[in-house]
Amino acid sequence: MNLNELIGQRIKYIRTQRGISQEDLAASAGIATTYVGQIERGMRNPTISVLENIADVLDVSIEEIVHSTNCDKLVTIAPTSELSDILIILEQFSPRDLHNTKIIIEKIADITNNKL
């Protein structure tokens, strides 16, 4: 995984944790929504100026975006169509709904792991 992908994943992680949509991040940072998506997928190399704007909107420092201490929380699995569909749905959830969904998924995982 290259640096662009890591930075993009970190931005997406922070954004979703804060309950901010790509559209809201883009509007507040003064960039296009499609550009946010490309950054999050590691397809674009954002300038320092763009990273500053994104960091301001997310209320973090650029260092927190670039030097994540929580890399273990980033998605590192290869996306499937099912996972992509789930992520699209989850992007619309409020922070509270995301938290509740996480609890449900953890319980399902516990049940599944105990059956194996």
How confident is the model at residue 80, as a pLDDT? Answer: 59
Q: Residue 1, SS3?
A: coil
**Is 1-75 assigned to CATH 1.10.260.40?**
yes
Q: What is the per-residue pLDDT across 65-84, written as a single tens digit (0 to 9) for each?
A: 887 544 444 444 445 567 77
Q: What is the per-residue pLDDT across 30-68, written as a single tens digit (0 to 9) for each?
A: 999 999 999 999 999 999 999 999 999 999 999 888 875
The domain limits of the chain are 1-75, 77-116
For residue 26, which phi and psi values (nearest 5 degrees)? -60, -50
Q: What is the per-residue pLDDT across 87-98, written as a single tens digit (0 to 9) for each?
A: 778 888 888 888
CA distance 49 to 55: 10
pTM summary value: 0.59
